[in-house]
Amino acid sequence: EDQVTQSPEALRLQEGESSSLNCSYTVSGLRGLFWYRQDPGKGPEFLFTLYSAGEEKEKERLKATLTKKESFLHITAPKPEDSATYLCAVSDGDKIIFGKGTRLHILP
């Protein structure tokens, strides 16, 4: 059964304090690993797609990396506006399964 596990569940950082979020997955035939950002009261918003081990994607202060078993979302020098829930998801080509997310809070 396809499964996505994210850690930690919640993370509080000071502004400027870099860290990483983890996403471990098991899927029969990975066709893509996705990162989404969700703000309170809104639907998830797409950030990145990674397709193969070793691939990296960057967007502003975020960088996503992928290995054969997990993905990391690195946040460099975060700002309060980066506070949100970050969701990881995997696709077998059809279904897209999400983890429970990491709630990130950046303190000014």
Partner 1 sequence: DAGVIQSPRHEVTEMGQEVTLRCKPISGHNSLFWYRQTMMRGLELLIYFNNNVPIDDSGMPEDRFSAKMPNASFSTLKIQPSEPRDSAVYFCASSLWTGANEKLFFGSGTQLSVL
Interface positions with partner 1 (CB under 8 A)? 31-32, 34, 36, 41-46, 49, 87, 89, 91, 93-101
Indicate the residue among 69 and 95 with the shorter CB distance to partner 1: 95
Contacts of 9 (CB under 8 A, 6+ apart): 100, 101, 102, 103
How far is Cα 19 from Cα 4, in angstroms, rounded to an integer? 20
Beta bridge partners of 66: 71
Closest distance of CB 58 from partner 1, Å: 17
CB nearer to partner 1: give 19 or 49: 49
